[in-house]
Structure 1
């Protein structure tokens, strides 16, 4: 009987009533009482959301708009393809599965690779190298030896008798390209330097992955303090910056005296002078490159108050003596290292006694935890006056801290590939900083100032990425809306310059270099697209 009643009701309905446009209700309860009003309200809502997103206020030139048409079409086509064929959407897979030897070949990546990128603000010097050429460079340097003891693998470059190793170490000379074992040694070295070591990082915990990650600094732990090796590392890294069309860099780096191959001390003041000479040389040779400055770092792991006090004093000494030194940071695994809160007495004492204006640029919030001292590092970083926050992955769990970040103009350093490889996010579309980017221009509680971001690679050697291109690609493809365009790329460059530790005059110079290079590359790309 019930079934017959349903059939009668169904038959009494017209086709339009069933599958066509639904009759407008008398009222939705929010003042919308017609299909036209609904469509208008829906459009306005989407427009407001779009106006809040990162990049929405950036202006484009006429040439920019010409290139932007092609760029946007290519990007939307890629995203549509990924939507229906998700296995082909690269940002959803672990970056390590997309081998460094097989970078994206699509037009969006090619355009991003060639465009100038502004400033690289979060990159650790000893891991800012090219995975394709750096192992060969290390093997080619004078006095190179490979020394092993169990799982401990190190490169050494001292003359005989300068440094005595544990008798359990077995050492051998590094091979040349003419030696039969060269290829095997090269593959072995690359596995020790990078995450391309045969491990399945999809199946490991954050702590285990961090242990593997930190072991990648081991092979050059002694070598990076050897003068001729350090000089080769610097020149190799600077060449990467130019190749990736980066205008300015702030390396995070340890500091202290080096040693030459004979065991003679090389004072850090001499190291800084040499670095400045190389920067000056690169400026002359490459007009689109402004230079490099340093953020001096010490590890927060096993850090004592007395050690931090000494570290701050020595960093401040170099800050006062050299224009290259621009700030100070604590690095290392946050979940096992000292929190900023636990170190407050030392920071207070340092500021009160020295009256130093040396900026802090803290790593903070590189964690999945919420409500712990580790994620609250973001609050203490802001209260201590940090100029930028490295990673800031836990920022979205602290909405009032975000308001302070906005008010104080604190830059947020995005590191999407690093965050994925180190297991904070499996699919970059789920990156938590994406939600902050989506409300960049939403009026805040304390100010209407927008959030400011930079995109960075963190440790490109270890991850097998470019210094900026790969992270920029992941950001635009997975952390912005489908219809976002070149305004995001251009705004990211300007934000990176604005949140750098450069002076106002220096920022204007870098911005001018960026704009000239941007206009040049855009013109070249437009002409190529016409043919």
Structure 2
């Protein structure tokens, strides 16, 4: 994957120190303590405190192409900022925590329907803000506990997080703040473009006003446009992949495709394409929807999750073949692709990028030791890879640096430099849904920032080299 990347003199100077810090990581953490082989949330602080992480944090990373909108920003921001907004209530629905902004009359109705509906501000007075905020943070993250010790239980927790946050984040003032923060965290992590994915959410106001999907998309588009305008030197923009639940009824699925066509017609600058989401092993295959998907207009691209499974020969595994035959522009996760040499060849020859999310794949229990991640094979086989963060809220994550760290440490050879990461960043631009003008601008922006970063790294190396002489 990195063989085609030519390095400048500054990059060559920088490689030595990058390799030094990488080697130091290997020495500091032996076989039993190697960080990418341990539960991410347990070792996240160890990773973020490393010198290598600091350098990677400053590195330009291109685009973020696989992020679910309901888990797109840091959990800490949701707790410390959004959950302190006025009129936020909590209650239990079907055994799951729900957060929703309500006026007094709606809260009274909620209490009648669900037994208990409490203001978060009241809960903080009863328990103390520190205790309650810690509890709430735990509700928004997948922690490695005896109660969550299997893929199915982790997926149940992940879907529960989406349930908890949906009504909270569809409150129009909260949504606007949340989306702006999502974009800001990406810019802070040196990312210049993003493709979010999710359903067409219908926003609401405290006074009962509800916005339909199209009006809500307009609000999303306005937030993105304003943010991009005020950050035009560091950020190119954002688009949205419509991604409904893969186990919808036939009627709801057809309604979703109608909404997709309407949204693509009204917001061609915003709508990037279509996907289906949810736990693949739990059912809802592409094959069941092939006839309807083949009718989707050719201008609407597919970005399917496929092969996010450890099984071989199951329906979830077979999603890979159907995604390829349906012309998916990228494949989300593709973990089982390594079991199919002929499909690997097709993916490579058709230049279909695989969206690799190391942190997600480990936290959800697919690859416990990331050195065994199949992306190692994909890279050597010549399949284009892009590094993604998937659901950073649920993983206690933000931006792409943690995923870049895991990829660099676990997916590359011990003595390999940052060429792999530069190739992945360039892939993220080339395999995005940006138009050709935007891609040219993105390449120029990336190369200029990479040049500045490399020069700065080389200057640091030179400075400390002189001090040591």
Mapped pair 1:515 → 2:447: yes
Deviation at residue 133 of structure 1 after TM alignment: 2.3
Which residue is 1:245 aligned to? 190
Deviation at 1:93, TM superposition (A): 0.6
Instruction: Name the structure 2 match of 1:279.
Output: 224
Residue 145 of structure 1 contacts residue 157 of structure 1 at CA under 8 Å; is this kept in 2? yes
Q: CA RMSD in A?
A: 2.0
| 3-state SS, counterpart of residue 518 of structure 1 | helix
CA distance in 2, matches of 1:325, 1:527: 42
Q: Pick the aligned partner of 2:325 from 383, 387, 396.
A: 383
Superimposed CA distance per residue, residues 264-316 of structure 1 (whole angstroms, 9 cap, x where no aligned partner)? 12233333333333333333433121111100110012x22222221112112
Q: Is the 8 A contact 2:142 2:154 kept in 1?
A: no
Which residue in the other structure is 1:445 paired with? none
**Structure 1 unmatched ranges of 5 or more:** 1-53, 441-450
1:60 pairs with 2:7: yes
Residue 176 of structure 1: CA displacement?
8.3
Q: CA deviation at 1:359?
A: 0.4
Q: Aligned pair 1:360/2:302, yes or no?
A: yes
- The more displaced of 136-145 and 267-276 is 267-276
Equivalent residue, structure 2, for 1:213: 158
Shift of 1:218: 2.1
> How far did 1:488 drift?
0.9
Pick one of 238, 245, 267 that aligns with 1:292.
Answer: 238
Deviation at 1:103, TM superposition (A): 3.8
Q: 2:173 aligns with which of 228, 237, 242?
A: 228
- Tell me how far apart the structure 2 counterparts of residues 131 and 71 of structure 1 sit (CA, whole Å): 30
Per residue, is there more helix in 1 or in 2?
A: 2
Report the equivalent of 1:257. Answer: 202
TM-score by length of 1: 0.82
Partner SS, residue 429 of structure 2: helix
* Deviation for aligned residue 1:177: 11
Map 1:126-275; keep pairs closer than 5 Å. Answer: 126-148=70-92, 151-162=95-106, 164-165=109-110, 167-175=113-121, 179=125, 181-196=128-143, 199-200=145-146, 204-275=149-220
Q: List alignment gaps of at least 5 residues for structure 2.
A: 465-469
Partner of 2:253: 308
Larger Rg: 1
Residue of structure 1 equivalent to 2:467: none
Whether 2:18 is the aligned partner of 1:71: answer: yes
Quote the residue 1:506 is aligned against.
438
Alpha-carbon distance, 1:78 to partner: 2.2
Q: Hey, what's the Cα distance between the residues in 2 that align with 1:200 and 1:500? A: 39
| Alpha-carbon offset, residue 356 of structure 1 | 4.2
Whole-angstrom distance in 1 between the partners of 2:164 and 2:177: 16
2 CA distance for matches of 1:495 and 1:527?
A: 27
Deviation at 1:143, TM superposition (A): 1.3
Say which is worse superposed, 382-391 or 512-521, in terms of deviation.
512-521
Cα shift at 1:495 = 0.5
Does the C-alpha gap of structure 1 residues 345 and 76 become closer, same or farther in structure 2, counting only changes over 3 Å? same
Cα 1:430/1:117, change in 2 over 3 Å: same
Q: CA shift at 1:528, angstroms?
A: 3.1
Q: Is the 1:162–1:263 contact (alpha carbons within 8 Å) kept by the matching residues of 2?
A: no
Whole-Å Cα distance in 1 between the matches of residues 424 and 123 of structure 2?
Answer: 42
Alpha-carbon shift at residue 263 of structure 1 (Å): 1.3
Structure 1: distance between partners of 2:245 and 2:224: 27
Map of 1:24 onto structure 2: none
Question: Could you tell me how far 1:320 is from its partner in structure 2?
Answer: 1.7
Compute the TM-score of the two structures, normalised by the length of structure 2: 0.92
Aligned partners of 2:35 and 2:47 also within 8 Å? no
Partner Cα separation in structure 1 for residue 237 and residue 15 of structure 2? 29
Q: Which moved more, 1:207-216 or 1:163-172?
A: 163-172
Cα distance in structure 2, aligned partners of 1:192 and 1:178: 16
Distance 2:151 2:354 in 1: 22
Give deviations 1:226-283, integer Å, cap 9, x for gaps.
Answer: 2122112111211111111111100012104321111112233333333333333333
How far apart in 2 are the matches of 1:314 and 1:211? 28
In structure 2, C-alpha distance between the alignment counterparts of 1:242 and 1:382, rounded to whole Å: 32
Query: Distance in 2 between the 1:296 and 1:146 partners?
Result: 28
Q: Contact (CA 8 Å) 2:22, 2:52: kept in 1 or not?
A: yes
Shift of 1:497: 0.6
8 Å Cα contact 1:128-1:461 kept in structure 2: yes
Q: Matched residue of 1:513: which SS?
A: helix
Are 1:423 and 2:365 matched, yes or no? yes
Residue of structure 2 in register with 1:439 after alignment: 381
Residue number in structure 1 paired with 2:343 = 401
Does the residue aligned with 1:519 lie in a helix, a strand or coil? helix
Provide the aligned length of Structure 1 versus Structure 2: 458
